[in-house]
């Protein structure tokens, strides 16, 4: 929208040509999202306090968490608003990849918002019934796959699965790719949701992952760079770097209020939206397996829950003191900040390793 206004003016004001560069608009999207988050953050926190949108804390969790009871949640609204405003100003909303990503991210956020609203505003501790929540995620994920199949740019390699560290090697899954992709999107969305249990943990990891995907998407959208690196060239996908910049900026701005001790929690509104966006990045870039590396901490968090549940049902024993795994380390005596920082370090290293797979092949 903003680009439609600016581009015609470049004929008269040459300085405005900078808006034609994706790198410039990505930087602008990051900074603007960050500044808007700084501006709106206190107002969002005040409003959530006013409507008593406080987080309830489970008594069976680490005792130090009980003092967080009443901290405003649904802070994901701040992330989505700042992301949207930044993208409207600097994103190319005529690009099908950007449109699909934008709409789907808002859809995942809406699912989380409904769940949060029922829990903290309507005071229904059950929130959105699990079967309806999963069904809505399933529909949203399937709609993303359908949109990628019929989008006008198209990707003939859509059903191929590229393996990190191997150049020119891909497995064509055929029709099996579509259920695989749906499971990947739903898993990504819920993995971030499970990780969002400590102040700033999921936010910081999302920032690192967003940075990584913003870099990969720019490389994948440039024919010369993708050819040099021998990665799939996705025409038009470079515009998603602007979305990545806006996501990172919104995340950093939110972290200002979400850092320990948190003044605001993102809730399902933010975690489902961010997880969905990371999964969509992986699908659009044909980096589905890279997602397991770049989001390795998210994967470990989800895996710890699955293992805990299955083993307990089988042998009535717990593998971890508490799942997700970040609570396990807390109960072992690690301070919350130590868990967060160490998980951030691991997340940052995994992003670096993920980027290295583009060249080490």
DSSP per-residue string spanning 282-343? HHHHT-HHHHHHHTHHHHHHHHHHHHHHHHHHHHS--SSSSSSHHHHHHHTT--HHHHHHHH
Look at residue 154 in the predicted model and tell me its pLDDT.
54
How many Å apart are CA 307 and CA 326, to the nearest integer? Answer: 14
How is residue 120 written in tokens? Answer: 């903290």
Residuewise pLDDT in 10s, the chain (361 residues):
666 666 666 666 656 677 778 999 999 999 999 999 999 999 999 998 888 776 665 545 565 565 667 788 889 999 999 999 999 999 999 899 999 999 999 999 999 999 999 988 777 767 788 899 999 999 999 999 999 888 755 565 788 898 888 877 788 898 999 999 999 999 999 999 999 989 999 999 999 999 999 999 999 988 898 888 888 888 888 999 999 999 999 999 999 999 988 999 999 999 999 999 999 999 999 999 999 999 999 999 999 999 999 999 988 889 999 989 999 999 999 999 999 999 999 999 999 999 998 887 6
Place of tokens 């009980």: 66
For residue 170, the cross-strand partners are 162
Is 298 part of any domain? Answer: no
What's the CA gap between 40 and 29, in Å, rounded?
A: 16
Strands annotated E in the chain = 160-162, 170-172
- DSSP run (H or E) holding 73: none
Residue 227: inside a domain: yes
pLDDT for 6 equals: 65
**60-87 in b/e burial notation, b at 16+ Cβ within 10 A?**
eebeebeebeebbbbbbbbbbbbbbbbb
The residue segments making up the domain with residue 196 are 23-292
Decide: 239 and 98 in contact? Cβ < 8 Å. yes
The 10 Å Cβ neighbour count of residue 235 is: 13
Is 331 part of any domain?
no
Total domains in the fold of the chain: 1
| pLDDT recorded at residue 55 | 66
261: enclosing H helix or E strand: none
Contacts of residue 246, Cβ cutoff 8 Å, sequence gap at least 6: 29, 30, 32, 33, 82, 83, 86, 87, 90, 91
Q: How confident is the model at residue 231, as a pLDDT?
A: 86
pLDDT (0 to 100) of residue 15: 63
Establish if 264 belongs to a structural domain: yes
What pLDDT sits at residue 59?
46
- Kindly report whether the peptide bond that precedes residue 162 is cis, defined as omega within 30 degrees of 0: no
pTM higher than 0.85, yes or no?
yes
The answer as to whether 332 is a domain residue is no
Query: Coil, strand or helix: which one is 94?
Result: coil
Phi and psi (nearest 5°) for 159? -90, 5
Q: What is the CA radius of gyration of the chain?
A: 20
């Amino acid at each position: 929208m903003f680009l439609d206004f600016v581009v015609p003016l470049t004929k008269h004001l040459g300085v405005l040509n900078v808006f034609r560069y994706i790198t410039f608009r990505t930087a602008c999207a990051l900074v603007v999202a960050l500044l808007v988050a700084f501006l709106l953050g206190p107002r969002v926190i005040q409003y959530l306090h006013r409507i008593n949108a406080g987080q309830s804390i489970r008594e069976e969790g680490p005792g130090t968490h009980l003092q967080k009871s009443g901290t405003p949640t649904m802070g994901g609204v701040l992330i989505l608003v700042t992301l949207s405003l930044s993208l409207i100003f600097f994103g190319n909303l005529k690009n099908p990849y950007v449109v699909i990503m934008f709409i789907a991210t808002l859809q995942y956020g809406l699912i989380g918002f409904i769940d949060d609203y029922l829990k903290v505003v309507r005071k229904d501790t059950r929130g959105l019934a699990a079967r309806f929540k999963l069904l809505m995620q399933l529909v949203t994920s399937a709609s993303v796959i359908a949109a990628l199949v019929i989008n006008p740019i198209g990707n003939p390699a859509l059903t191929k699965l590229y393996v990190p560290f191997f150049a020119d090697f891909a497995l064509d899954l055929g029709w099996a790719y579509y259920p695989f992709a749906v499971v990947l999107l739903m898993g990504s969305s819920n993995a971030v949701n499970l990780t969002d249990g400590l102040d700033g943990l999921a936010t910081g990891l999302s920032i690192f992952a967003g940075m990584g995907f913003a870099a990969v998407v720019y490389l994948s959208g440039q024919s010369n760079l993708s050819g040099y690196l021998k990665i799939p060239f996705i025409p038009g996908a470079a515009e998603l770097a602007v979305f990545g910049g806006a996501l990172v900026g919104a995340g950093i701005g939110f972290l200002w209020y979400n850092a320990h001790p948190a003044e605001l929690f993102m809730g399902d509104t933010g975690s489902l939206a961010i997880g969905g966006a990371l999964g969509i990045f992986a699908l659009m870039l044909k980096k589905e397996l890279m997602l397991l590396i770049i989001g390795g901490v998210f994967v470990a968090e989800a895996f710890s829950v699955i293992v805990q549940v299955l083993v307990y049902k089988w042998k009535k024993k717990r593998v971890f003191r508490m799942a997700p795994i970040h609570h396990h380390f807390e109960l072992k005596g690690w301070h919350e900040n130590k868990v967060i920082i160490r998980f951030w370090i691991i997340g940052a290293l995994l992003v670096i390793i993920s980027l290295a797979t583009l060249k080490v092949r």
